[in-house]
Structures are given as structure tokens and as C-alpha cells.
Structure 1
Amino acid sequence: MKISVMMALRVPTLVRTALVTALLVGAGLLAQAPQPTSAPPTTVPVAVQAACPVDPATPKRQFRGMWVASVANVDWPSRTGLTVAQQQAEYRSWLDLAVTNRMNAVIVQIRPTADAFWPSTYEPWSHWLTGTQGQNPGYDPLGFMVAEAHARNLEFHAWFNPYRVANHADLSRLVSTHPARRNPSWVETYGGQLYYNPGIPAVRAFVQDAMMDAVSRYDIDGVHWDDYFYPYPVSGVSFPDQDTFAQYGAGFSNINDWRRNNVNLLVQEMGQKIHAAKSWVSFGISPFGIWRNASTDPLGSRTSGLQSYDSIYADTRRWVKQNWVDYIAPQIYWHIGHPAADYAELVRWWSGVTTGTNVQLVVGQATYRSGASGQDPAWQNAGELTSHFTLNRSYPQVVGDIHFSAKDVRANRIGAMARVVADHYSRPALLPVPLARGGAAPGAPTLSSATRGSGGVTLTWQRPTTGTTTGYAVYRLPGDGPVDACALADSRHLIATVRASGATGTYLDTTAAAGSTYRYLVTALHRLHHESAPSAARTVPGDGSGAFSVIVDNTTTGGFTASANWGTSTFLSTRYGSNYRFANPQSVSDVAWFSATIPATGSYRVEVWYPADPGYNSATPHLVATSTGNVTVTVDQRSGGGQWRTLGTYSLAAGTRQVVGVSRWTAGTGYVIADAVRITRL
């Protein structure tokens, strides 16, 4: 990997659930839950999902990966000469880091310098493993890496470098059996390094065969290349392939077009070979972030940096437009507002390029820059990186991100990575379904049991009888009763994904609060991430230890705060207590807050009381400060007052804090009302 130089308002749960339930009951899609004959949890049928609002902070699908670089021992192994046990322990720690950060893919470099991290039939063992090229490390690293990733239900993308031979210029330092030594005419020296010459057809065929050896023999999920094709230019020095052009360049008027065609053939042919061998294996490339500048080509981006089309002969735009790859992951390694290469401009440009194609856009993120010395001042702001992810939400073509590199994810300098996780990875996510690749969802699994024990809730299910299943998604919904048709529209209730193994599956939910009632559902996942219909839900009641309910009135001492813009009234008798508060709607942040002490993190039902009047506001925003961020629910205060009205069930964190707010920021007319709230643990 080259380090480049250059609130949607939700429909109120109360209203949505009532409407959807009424429609589904009328259609015969919801039935009364069958009553068990003994203690097992209740099984609750699940409705077919409808068109539903989703929270952009908790997307259902998102590619979340990190690069694990082996060249120069950047990430793994941390140095040469480690024992097998040490290498394996280090690798497991990287996977555990990915899981902790709620990622779902790792991109691991397994062919960094024309060598191999597996017993290749084409190339020698990598010297980055043992310190000696050609030396057997004592185990099969690639087989181990794939198995360990899949055990955690992480996708494994094998990262290859097609043409780089060595980070030095001495051919004699390569092991004697190295293909470059056996075929010295294939090799060129440039910039103090050795490269295979991309213009030689035999070289192109050989590197493809060397990579396909891993594809055919191992259960990898993707083939991944970074930005190394022709080497980055050395000032004043041309790549020494003029003789090769004279030999193979027939039909091309200039050497640059010929070089681009050589790379185009490599990309096109490799994609065809991968999909012919294993249709489910994705092919992705992470190129330099700029194709061409608009000042050079009107189709280019509004940038002024190095152009991959002209400098390294990578016509990345064409690869996308021709659908030669499954995903493109440009290294957009600049901050928002960079004068030569603005992150916002490049995301806009790449989104436009991928629109109308079968290629998905994944952004390569410069996590290594956050908080690092010598970087632009923008990267000393802990909010810079997370702002990239927020901007990405404006472009549906962006389906995820990859962080460079693993050691920088772990370093978490200035807390930048923690901000990303809190703001964007608060829940797990399924991987995006590749476009135009076929496949179909398996049948629904059968959730046979959900049992509460001292360590949490243990789920057991049976594999679907139809379709191909490689994994499962586990959902947990608070409370009991019928399942909202929109409950699985995003990942708010997704708690885990599990790799399929055998005829049954299990999962232990160690985060289940003892006093809370939950509904669990499981879906089956296809190799290409198609998701089945959900199982019937199983309800696990709380054990009673969490009984808690509190009412906070607008007169509760220390429980209510509001600015002087909020008046006090006793006009309506349907108020709660002696009075209530009111304010005119304005486009300002002026929230009246109800505070409470939440005894333990868990699921709580949140209700509000207000006196209703036809002249009051039809869309009063209510903010609920959940454990994963604020949720906004609008309430029509013209009717339904004088009683407790449910906003929804939410995960609330333990502690004393502002829990429910009533906002003046609404387009509706008429007073907004703040009277009382009730919070009940489930």
C-alpha cells in the first residue's frame, strides 16, 4: 500500500407499530403467539418487512475493512524470525482488533514482493516471514489466516502486488530458484527496486497464474490489488522498457497508450480468470485517488495532483466503466478541503464514475494520518476522520471503507478511530451484496431455543434446509409482543454475525441485561451476503431484577431544565401535575430536557405525557438520548393527550443525565409542549 504524498426523523414507534400491525393482521400475516406448554420462551411470528425509514448512523450493510501489510513487516509479522506460535498469536490479535472495532473484513498482503505466504507452486516463501526467502515457516500461513478470519466471520481478501519483485536492486540477493533469477529478461531495475516488466506477455501470464494458485487452492473471499502497476515515476528517469515497446507495441502510436493497455489487459484477464474459477470471489483494486485532473481531461476531478492515468498508466476510470472489477477502493488520503485533492471532491467524482456500473465504491481511508506528526493541521483534529464517514452518507454509491493500516487502527491516535467506531460503527453490519453477481438467499433458519443463564442468553438454531448458507445474523429486539415490520431495516438491533458450521448454530449473548425482556431472531446469509427471511422470534423474559420506573415532571427539582423561552401554563386540565411548559416553534436548538438517573444499562420504554389541543404542534420533535446516540421521534400534540404515549423502547446507558428532550425546531405551527416523561426498564 503506497502512502500517497499528495437525522432523518423517524416515524414514531407508537404510530408505526400500530399501523403496520393493523395492516398485517388484516392481511393475515400476524398471528397470536402460540403458548408454550412449559417454561420455554414464547415464539412470536415475524411480519414481512415493509418500506421502512432507516437510521443512516446504523446502516444494515457496510464494508468495513483494514489493510494488514506484510511488506517491510509494517503490520504482520511485526518482525522476521518469530516462532510459529508468535506469528499466529500476532495475527489473531489483528483479527480480534477488527472484531472489537465492528469490522467485517480484513485485507491481508500475501504476495508483497513476487513471493508467497503459502506453499506456492510458482514462487518462493516470502522472506518477510522468516527473514530468509524460500525458507518454510513451518506451517501454511494462508490456510491459517483464512480459517481464523472465517471463524470470526470476517471476510478475507487476499492482497497481491502483481509486478513488484524486490525493494532493492540486486537480483543476486533473490533465492536461486526465484522466477526472476530464472528469467532475468523479465526484470527491470527502476528507482532502486526490481520490477517485472508489465509489457512482456509472458510476465503477465505468469503473475496471473501465481495469484490464481492461491485463488484456486484457498477459500478466500476476494482478490485485492493496491496502486502498484508501473512504478511511481522517478523525476527525470523513464522506465526502461523502450526495447519491450519495440518488440510488443505493434498497433500503438506511443509508449504511454501501450503501457496503459498492458495494465488494462492484466485487470481484465485477471477478473475473468477469478470469476471463471470461483464466481463468488470478489475482485477489487485500491488505486491512487486521482485518475486525472479536470485541467488535463474534462472527465477528471477538480484536483491538481499526480494523475495515475499518466504517471503509473492505471486507467482506473476505464476499469470501472467496463465493469472489470467488483469494487474500487481509491486511496483518498487527503483531508476535506485539501487545496490540491479535496476529499469531498474526490468522493463526489468517484461516486459519479461508479454510478450506472456494477462496481461498488469503497473508500481507502488515511487512518495513518490522524494525529501523526508531520501531517497537515487538519489531521490533528480528532473529528477529521469521522467527518469523512459522515460525508460518505450523502453518496449511496459508497458502500464502505478500508483503513490503512492495522497498526494505525490499533494506535487510535487522538482518539480518531474511536470516534469513527462511536459515530459510524456503533452496531455490526452485514457486507454489501455484490452487484450483478447472482446468488440467492437461503431459506430461513429455525430458532429452536433461547435460554437465559448466568452468563447471558444462549441461542440455538437449525441450518436452513434450502440454499447455501455460510453465516448467520443475530438480532435482539427489546420488549415483547409482535415484531415491528421495520425492525430489521437497519442494524439497530443487529448484535452479531456468526459463521455457519454444521447443521446447527449457537450464540451466547453476554450483553443481555438480566432484568430486560428481549425478542431474538436469526437470519441466514449466502456466500454473496444475500439475507434470508428471519426466523420466528423467541421472547426471553427478564428475571425481575431490573424492576424500575421513574416519572419526571416539568416541576421535578433537578429533573427539568428549559430556557426562558419556555412559558408555564395551567390552562388545560389534562396536564400532568400542577402545570406544563410551552414554547413557540423556532429553527433554533433550544431543547427542554428531562433528566433521570438510569440504574443500569439496558432496554427502557420511554413515554411522554402532554395535554393535547387542536392548536398545538403537529410534529413536535422529542429527542431520546440512547446509548448509541440521540434518536428523534415526532409527536402530534393536537390529539392523544392526557395519557402516557409511548415514544419507543431504547437502550439507555447507566448514569444521571438528560434522557428526553422536547425541541422547538419544527416546521409545524402551534405551541410545542413539555409536561412529563416516564421511563420504565423492561
Structure 2
Amino acid sequence: MTALLRTVLAALTAALVSIVAPTSAVAAACTTDPAMPKRQLRAMWISSVANIDWPSRTGLSVSAQQAEFRAWLDLAVAKRMNAVVVQVRPTADAFWPSPYEPWSQWLTGTQGGNPGYDPLAFMVNEAHARNLEFHAWFNPYRIANHDDPSRLVATHPARQHPDWRFAYGGKLYYNPGIPEVRDFIEDAIMDAVSRYDVDGVHLDDYFYPYPVSGQAIPDSATYARYGGSFGNVADWRRENVNLLVRELDQRIHAAKPHVSFGISPFGIWRNAGTDPLGSPTSGLQSYDAIYADTRQWVKQGWVDYLAPQIYWHIGFSTAAYEVLTAWWAGVVRGTGVQLVIGQAAYRAGASGQDAAWQDPAELSDHLFDNRRHPEVAGDIYFSAKDVKADRIGAFTRVVNAHYTRPALLPARGSAAAPAAPSITSATRVSNGVQLAWTGSATAYAVYRVDGAPPAADPCFFADARNLVATTRQKAFTDTTAGGPAYTYYVTALNRTHQESAPSAGKAVGSGGGGTFSVVIDNADAGFAAGSAWGTSTYSAQLHGADYRFAPPVAASDPAWFRAAVPSAGSYRVEVWHPADAGYNSATPYIVAASGGNQTVTVDQRTGGGTWRSIGTFPLAAGTYNVVGVSRWTSTTGYVIADAVRITKL
């Protein structure tokens, strides 16, 4: 994209923002940066069919499968994404112990083979630990990428009900025209929705099969039985798909109102040459070819978001990216349905693609074009392996131009915002600034502004320029905090991303000098403990991601917190532990004071989830084990080692 074009787009964006911005005085007073949107869905598809993304191949061990998936989530976090869309029902099978369908063959290589763990439970927990939304992706009708029913496991519903299926184009499909099939598909999907803490249900673009030259869909008998009220088979097929979409929408929101329902259809509904309501394109029409009336789904409000797969480059004569994005923006305008764009990361820099896709700027230019349309709420990239491959640096360019800051997810629904949290501490530590707060919410957003303003300006929070991070924890270390003095604010977010008012600001002095303070968590490199010390996340009062525990014994076996003490002097030592009635009433803390070790006992049954001072001690300079948690106590209950804070006085 040329500098002139970027300037023109920026001007257009600013003009559009001024037109659609809220009318409140606060919004009018704030000038936002379109490169730093406060809210934006950023996701990638993680495809399991044919082992496209995950697992990379069948038959991996449990630990190898899990390590691969964690790596995909870590990639999403590194690219400042906030959601993943993971295929959990690729071919009428399941990535969870479903009572309806067999285990997926893409896990073990054998359909019906138990992988030895619950992948869906694992994936949801891992995503939420990174504050990534987890959208479970289901393919509704596809049974197999072959047409031989005997290759299905004997208990497969498609073998037990041969009248439910048909073969077409070398593949097997459930017949969308049979009401029992529709009920079964919905039940199979709702089993996952009801049993797992998913954030979204996602369908892809496969409804009736894509046309195969010279072949007709073999559903004439089904049409004769069920299609009597329809003048033609095409309208009947569209209504079959409409029923699935409408009923799923109703069932999902009846079970869990916070769960989002979205579909990623083929990018063209109809061409304007066929229908005046269609787009100025000339490609395959999903309305006519696969019987997906996507425009109606939006107008009827049967989906929370639509993510059309606009997999063509800017200026493509058949279906130009900028033309379709503008058309879809017009479709969703005023409906309450969010528009997310399906992006073809797989084309960027790939051999055999049009010359436009060999330009490292093409994918990034799509997002510049998105800024012209306030209706565009974000992007999903196909697929994870292409995000990772980053051919010709195309995705790095996206991140550098558009994802320089984190982003909150777009709010959905009308739930009340949670109460504002309260920052309890903000302390400079060796690797930045550590914050802790109290609150009752699903997640939190951390903002940082320079200096010590007398009050929180609403414009601090109008875009993402001051947004440091989002987290589901109640503590965060800002490792990007440098020398200046800062003021921090924290807001709370509920399950559908409504945001609270900001907390009171908490100022932190310059890091160029002043008081030394360091926090060592049990997950840090400065912590060491023997094999008898277990790891737990049982208590919500934990510091960081987890804490350590061990039963008392008649031996010290301490867990040690090591620190670099900058100079000899007097230091305050504070400890953090979760509290529970089953923990120890006299846990010994050992402080390696300069005059000899000193031991202080702490009742860990109460007073958890906050910093507790255990005294002031003379410490020598140097790097050494400063504070230990001993197991040598005569009282019962686990001793806990979670975190310590050492501050020079």
C-alpha cells in the first residue's frame, strides 16, 4: 500500500468514525487511533480434519498432543490474538467423550479410539488460562472424506441409520432434509455446549455439498416425503439449512446465553447480476450452490456474528476483497450482528497463488481496508499453520501495522457491566511493575498512563494506546514498564465483555532509583523445591498461575525463594499464600538474615490472598536463598509456598 493510499484511508476512517461515534460528550472529546482499536476479535482457525493444524499427525502421545496445542495457543498470544476457533467435530465425530458420536480418527488414527484424555476439556482450560476465548468449531453435515460406509466404526450413527446419509462427490454426508438428522446434529453439538465452558459455537461453510460437475444430490425421495409445501427443491434445501441455524441459535442461547453463535460462510451470497440485493461480483453463489441463505441469517438475527470467507485479493475482478467487505458491512449495518472477516493467511506468499498474494503487504492491506467500515469487528485467519509459517513476512506485517497493542473482545448482548475492581498494590520489582487487585469478574484489563494525573480522563480508555494487558488473574507484572513514573488503572470484564468503570488510579514512582522491591513467585526461576512439593491451583487466592504445597514432616526440606539483594540494609519481608482450613496453622518461614537465620510461623488457615508482613530483617548484599518455607512443624495441614516480596526500607 502506498503512503498516499494509507493517508486517504486514514482520512476516510476518521470521517467515518466522526459519523458513527457515540453522541456523548465523552466520546466526542476523545480522538481515537484507528491503528489501536480498543475492541477487535483477533483469532485463527485451528483445523483438525486431515491433521491440517492439530494434532500434526495421528497417534501422538497425550503429552505430545498437549504440548502441540499449548504451542498453538502461545503463538496466538504472541501475535496478540484474543480467541481461537478450534475444530472439535470435523467429520461427524468428536474431540470429547460424546454419547452421540465416536472419538475422532484424527486423534489416534482409529475412529472410536480413546485418546486417553478429554481433549476438549484440556483445550478450553488452556485457552482460558491465557485469556483466549475458545470457540468450538463444528462441521454439521460431513460424515467422511470418502464414500465407503464400511470404513466407519460399526457403532457410527451413519451406519446404524443408513437412510440418514448419502454419498456425493466421493464423500459421505448426512441428509439435511431429514428432521431426525437435524435433531441429531443439534443434540451432538449441544452436548459439547452444555458440558464444556466454551465461549462460542462456530459453523464453517459446508452446508449442502459444493457442486460436483455431472452429479446431482441424491435427495429426491427425501424431497418427495418432506418438501410438499415448497415449489422447488432449492427453496426446500435452503429452509432445511435455515432450520438448523435458527434452532441451534435458540438452543445455544437457551442453555447458555453468554455463548456466541457464529458462522463462517463462503464469501459470496449472491451476485448482483442474479439478485439486485447481491454483491457486485461474479463468483459462485452460496445461496444457489450450497443452499446457504447467509443474508437472511443476518437479517433475522439468527447468528451473533458472521465471518464470511473473503479469500480474494484487493482488486480481484471476480470477487474483490474491498467490494465484498463493503457489501457485507452494509448487510450487517443496523442488525446487531457482528461482522468478522475470514482472512486467507494460507494464500500469502504461497506458490501457485496470484501475484497479488506474493506482495507482503496484501494481507495487511485488507485490515487497512477494514478501517473504512466500522461494522467490521475483527478477523479470523485460516489457518494456524499459515500464521506460524509467516511466509514472506506477511503476518509479521499484520501484527506490526495493526496488532501493536492488545484488544478487548467486542461486547455482545446487553448484560450489565461488573463493578469496578480495586488495585491493592503496585510495586516496582526487578523486571517491571507488579500489580494486584481485588474484584469479581471473568477478566480484567490493565491500563497504564505516564505520570500522575489528578484524575482518570475518560479518553485514557477510549482506545488501546494505554492498554497493557488483559488477564483472568488478579495480579499482573508489567514487564514493559521502564523508567518514567506511571499511574495504573484496572477495569473488570464480564463473560460477554461489558467493561466496568476504571478502578482508582495507583501511581508508581520512577524506576531510575528509589526503593528496591522484588517479588519472587513459585513459578519464577528464583524458586526451588524438592520432589515432595506438589503444585496446585485449587484456591482462587493464589498468586500467579499456581502455588506449591507439601505435608509437614520432622525435617526441614524447605522451598526457597532466591533474590538478588542490592545492598546490605534493613528489608521488609512479606509473604503471599492462599488460605484454607486444611492448611497449616504454624507454617515456618525461614529468613536468611545477616546475623543468622530467623524463623517466623504463619497461620495459613486465614489471611490468604494478600501480602502479609512477617517482619523487618537485616539482609546482606548478594544473590542467595533469602526466604524459605519449611516443612518441619508439629501442626497438621499442608504448608504452602506461593510468593514473597522483599522491600528495602
TM-score normalized with structure 1 length: 0.71
Question: Which residue is equivalent to 1:604?
Answer: none
Q: Does 1:487 align with 2:464?
A: no
After TM superposition, where is structure 1 displaced by more than 4 Å over at least 4 residues in a row? 47-50
Q: Does 1:516 align with 2:484?
A: yes
Question: Which residue is equivalent to 1:417?
Answer: 395
Displacement, 1:541? 1.0
Unaligned runs of 5+ in 2: 1-6, 12-24, 515-649
Question: Which residue is equivalent to 1:235?
Answer: 213
Unaligned runs of 5+ in 1: 1-6, 10-46, 547-682
2:195 equivalent among 217, 229, 253: 217
Deviations 1:641-665 (A, max 9, x none): xxxxxxxxxxxxxxxxxxxxxxxxx
Q: Does 1:157 align with 2:129?
A: no
Letter in 1 for 2:438: Q
Structure 1 SS opposite 2:217: coil
Deviations 1:421-463 (A, max 9, x none): 01111000000011xx221110000001000111221100001
- How many angstroms apart in 1 are the aligned matches of 2:385 and 2:472? 26
Displacement, 1:484? 3.1
Letter in 2 for 1:347: T
- How many angstroms apart in 1 are the aligned matches of 2:173 and 2:226? 18
Q: Does 1:541 align with 2:513?
A: no
Question: Which residue is equivalent to 2:601?
Answer: none
Displacement, 1:158? 0.3
Q: CA RMSD in A?
A: 1.4
- How many angstroms apart in 2 are the aligned matches of 1:163 and 1:484? 52
Structure 1 SS opposite 2:492: strand
Displacement, 1:481? 2.6
In the TM superposition, what are the counterparts of 1:407-486 in structure 2 within 5 Å? Answer: 407-434=385-412, 437-464=413-440, 469-482=441-454, 483-486=456-459
Question: Which residue is equivalent to 1:247?
Answer: 225
1:471–1:441 CA distance, 2 compared to 1 (3 A): same
Q: Does 1:507 align with 2:472?
A: no
1:56–1:157 CA distance, 2 compared to 1 (3 A): same
2:72 equivalent among 94, 98, 116: 94
Letter in 1 for 2:216: S
In the TM superposition, what are the counterparts of 1:540-559 in structure 2 within 5 Å? Answer: 540-544=508-512
Letter in 1 for 2:418: P
1:381–1:545 CA distance, 2 compared to 1 (3 A): farther
Letter in 1 for 2:481: A
- How many angstroms apart in 2 are the aligned matches of 1:510 and 1:88? 28
Structure 2 SS opposite 1:369: coil
1:519–1:48 CA distance, 2 compared to 1 (3 A): farther
Deviations 1:541-566 (A, max 9, x none): 113269xxxxxxxxxxxxxxxxxxxx
Question: Which residue is equivalent to 1:381?
Answer: 359
Structure 2 SS opposite 1:449: strand
- How many angstroms apart in 2 are the aligned matches of 1:456 and 1:535? 21
- How many angstroms apart in 2 are the aligned matches of 1:97 and 1:524? 25
Letter in 1 for 2:415: G
Q: Does 1:336 align with 2:336?
A: no
Deviations 1:386-418 (A, max 9, x none): 010011011011000000000000001111101
Structure 2 SS opposite 1:188: strand
* Aligned 8 A contact 1:447 1:460 in 2: yes
- How many angstroms apart in 2 are the aligned matches of 1:226 and 1:545? 55
Letter in 2 for 1:119: P
Letter in 1 for 2:398: V
Structure 2 SS opposite 1:486: helix
* Aligned 8 A contact 1:64 1:401 in 2: yes
Displacement, 1:356? 1.5
Displacement, 1:163? 0.4
Displacement, 1:477? 1.2
Q: How many pairs are equivalent?
A: 492
Displacement, 1:488? 1.0
Letter in 2 for 1:492: R
Structure 2 SS opposite 1:206: helix
Letter in 2 for 1:103: M
Structure 1 SS opposite 2:342: strand
Deviations 1:208-267 (A, max 9, x none): 000000000000000000100000000121111011100111101111110000000010
Question: Which residue is equivalent to 1:577?
Answer: none
Displacement, 1:50? 7.0
* Aligned 8 A contact 1:50 1:486 in 2: no
Structure 1 SS opposite 2:368: helix
In the TM superposition, what are the counterparts of 1:13-162 in structure 2 within 5 Å? Answer: 51-162=29-140
- How many angstroms apart in 2 are the aligned matches of 1:534 and 1:249? 56
Structure 1 SS opposite 2:444: strand
* Aligned 8 A contact 1:50 1:485 in 2: no
Question: Which residue is equivalent to 2:234?
Answer: 256
- How many angstroms apart in 1 are the aligned matches of 2:111 and 2:432? 49
Structure 2 SS opposite 1:292: coil
Displacement, 1:376? 0.4
Structure 1 SS opposite 2:326: helix
Question: Which residue is equivalent to 1:578?
Answer: none
* Aligned 8 A contact 1:126 1:134 in 2: yes
Question: Which residue is equivalent to 1:175?
Answer: 153
In the TM superposition, what are the counterparts of 1:183-202 in structure 2 within 5 Å? Answer: 183-202=161-180
Displacement, 1:479? 2.0
Question: Which residue is equivalent to 1:665?
Answer: none
Letter in 1 for 2:462: A
Q: Does 1:396 align with 2:365?
A: no
Displacement, 1:48? 8.1
* Aligned 8 A contact 1:362 1:398 in 2: yes
Deviations 1:474-503 (A, max 9, x none): 111122233433111100011110015xxx
2:471 equivalent among 492, 498, 501: 498
Letter in 2 for 1:537: G
* Aligned 8 A contact 1:102 1:428 in 2: yes
Q: Does 1:321 align with 2:299?
A: yes
Deviations 1:178-233 (A, max 9, x none): 10111011010001000000000000000000000000000000000010000000
- How many angstroms apart in 1 are the aligned matches of 2:495 and 2:27? 22
* Aligned 8 A contact 1:153 1:497 in 2: yes
Deviations 1:613-648 (A, max 9, x none): xxxxxxxxxxxxxxxxxxxxxxxxxxxxxxxxxxxx
- How many angstroms apart in 2 are the aligned matches of 1:164 and 1:485? 50
Structure 1 SS opposite 2:222: helix
- How many angstroms apart in 2 are the aligned matches of 1:172 and 1:196? 15
2:383 equivalent among 405, 408, 416: 405
- How many angstroms apart in 1 are the aligned matches of 2:313 and 2:243? 33
Question: Which residue is equivalent to 1:166?
Answer: 144
Letter in 1 for 2:443: G
Question: Which residue is equivalent to 1:532?
Answer: 500
TM-score normalized with structure 2 length: 0.75
- How many angstroms apart in 2 are the aligned matches of 1:48 and 1:377? 46
- How many angstroms apart in 2 are the aligned matches of 1:106 and 1:267? 22
Displacement, 1:516? 2.0
- How many angstroms apart in 2 are the aligned matches of 1:193 and 1:360? 33
Structure 2 SS opposite 1:224: strand
- How many angstroms apart in 2 are the aligned matches of 1:92 and 1:372? 26
**Relative contact order: is structure 1 or structure 2 higher (C-alpha 8 Å, sep ≥ 6)?**
1
